A and B are shown apart, each in its own frame.
Chain A
């Protein structure tokens, strides 16, 4: 019953509401896909510099990731392919919910390794001014919003796939 009610709420979203939510989903997907591909095609890329620039409560954890060759190789691989896959499925509108959760997890790691808290300084240059809230955190929350207002059943491959299944 609750599930059905949820569906009603979502299908009650106006066309414009769905359109802009889907647009947000596609743009975040684009960003993820590009970040992933840039890393994949760059022979020099590794997360090591970013990890070693970490500060804050979880600094030790990120340093440990950078310290072990095998762990670092895994981190690099997972990071690149997660970004690419999440990006692609968000644009296309399939497997939306797991992709959003995966994206939130990645962004949470980026945020926790470089929290913009008072007194923490980073070598890595930033392109803006941040206090506690930065663009990583905003993108993370935007992904959570999308998780609770999924759109791929309305705009996206998911709509087609579901209906194809039903029509059989």
Chain B
């Protein structure tokens, strides 16, 4: 095409384009109806979701708001604490009460500097000030005592270069701490074989007690603890911090509203697979008879010559420990006791063995326990392995639906359900998708929520960094105890719940150790 001709064509085109033709209007507006089609599809989709949601809500009348767990009690009066046992767990409880070693704060700060999503420092700073002071500390191992003292003196929650308060008094013997008149309440975080003895003595001196689980090491002291707590009118809290888990409150509500139908089987598990998880803790360098009071460690246990292994890994021996049943099943039991009001079972059978950690331990590393509740027509089954991480969760199984409870909660309808039959047949309820789910901090996650969102919610990724603040459950559990000391009332895991916990765990242990089925005699209130 000659160039002149080409320019002429452009000129004509430009001339033409100055007028708006019918074609311009049609082509100019051609895609506008797409917006209409989009709006209509959007409306249809929302209406469908709304219908499904309504169908579900007709069945599940539980709101998805976070429950309010703690009442408001004036903190004007400072509570003076003592702590007995400042090993790993004891120091975690100190942290929950607001005291952390400056060295740990340094580590947190360093971690935050490296990775801004590491919020441990911020979370600890934001943890509520409980207006407590630690006046006395007792540990039979000098190094742990020193670590505890440093934490207690760090009242301003600062790093190593910060200003520290005076350290509390260190007692070499717990009896002297219990006799101190500048202590109102004690935290007990010793090995299991000391829990009962110290709780009883503390109650007799009128000191309130927060005791780590399990409540007792032997059956007889279980009665004694209950008696001492009741007679001396002290506030007793057993250290099952999972009592503060929001999802459990929702689970309880779901049970009350009979969403699951008749519950007939409850399965709880422990799934661990690491030396630490199997209680093979690090033996600290430099530890020895020069800095460990071995005699006091042994206490009510049978005598054994000094052993670093037994001192650091005491959970592996019946002499000081209650094994899987007392140490880990109790968490599971207490969770279910909270949700289902189980009480003490009619009978227990147990089996297992030392199948993986052949390190001289006497407690099993694989354990199965079955507890029967004929009055409630259900079985509580516990299965534990310390050498497999296969996660099996906690499941409450009913005829109409089952519930998985962890940090979050999910309810799935059973495909054979009678109650939901009609909605299942109509396709309004899908047994593969949760009928209801609760994730702390999330407003709603249900069958409508996208797979991606459910994925993230299930891993707690969505609420960690915004909305509901993540709070340490141990902190809430200690606060619950302090609230009752200040304002009266019963803590969530009081001595009666503790009694049920201890007796149930002991039944499992006796069944395992004696290789027989054991029964609870309700009239005589004893294990037979």
Contact = CB atoms under 8 A, between A and B. Distances in A.
B72 interface: no
Interface in B3-40: 6, 10, 13, 17-20, 24-25, 27-32, 34-35, 38
Contacts, number: 112
B281 interface: no
Interface in B489-514: none
B355 interface: no
Nearest to A27: B34
Contact of B443 (A11, A43, A162): A43
Given A45-B453, A166-B18, A167-B20, A11 B13 contact: yes
A115 interface: no
Given A64-B116, A67-B115, A44 B31 contact: no
Nearest to B456: A49
B161 to A, nearest CB: 25
A146 interface: no
Interface of B: 6, 10, 13, 17-20, 24-25, 27-32, 34-35, 38, 42, 115-117, 442-445, 449-453, 455-457, 459, 461-462, 465-466
A38 B452 CA distance: 13
A42 B19 CA distance: 46
A101 interface: no
Nearest to A22: B31
A155 B38 contact: no
Interface stretch (A85-93, A105-113, A129-137): A85-93
Contact of A49 (B17, B24, B38, B461): B461
Contacts of A30: 34, 38
A155 B443 contact: no
A160 B456 contact: no
Interface in A1-51: 4, 7-8, 11, 22, 26, 29-30, 33-34, 37-38, 42-46, 48-49
A160 B455 contact: no
Contacts of B445: 44
B10 A160 contact: no
A146 to B, nearest CB: 14
B465 A66 contact: yes
Contacts of B31: 22, 26, 91-93, 155-157
Contact of A155 (B17, B30, B444): B30
Contacts of B29: 157, 160
Interface of A: 4, 7-8, 11, 22, 26, 29-30, 33-34, 37-38, 42-46, 48-49, 52, 63-64, 66-69, 72, 88, 91-93, 123-125, 154-164, 166-167
Given A159-B24, A159-B28, 12 more contacts: A8-B6, A43-B443, A44-B442, A46-B466, A63-B117, A72-B465, A91-B34, A93-B28, A155-B28, A156-B28, A157-B31, A160-B25
B465 A69 contact: yes
B462 A91 contact: no
A48 B444 CA distance: 17
Contact of A92 (B32, B442, B444, B461): B32
Contacts of A166: 17-18
Contacts of B453: 42, 44-45, 49
Contacts of B35: 88, 91-92
B24 A160 contact: yes
A67 B117 contact: yes
B391 to A, nearest CB: 15
Contact of A167 (B18, B38, B442): B18
Contacts of A154: 27
20 contacts: A11-B13, A26-B34, A44-B442, A44-B449, A46-B466, A48-B462, A49-B453, A49-B462, A63-B117, A67-B116, A68-B116, A91-B35, A93-B28, A124-B455, A154-B27, A160-B20, A160-B25, A160-B29, A163-B28, A166-B18
A20 to B, nearest CB: 14
Contacts of A162: 17
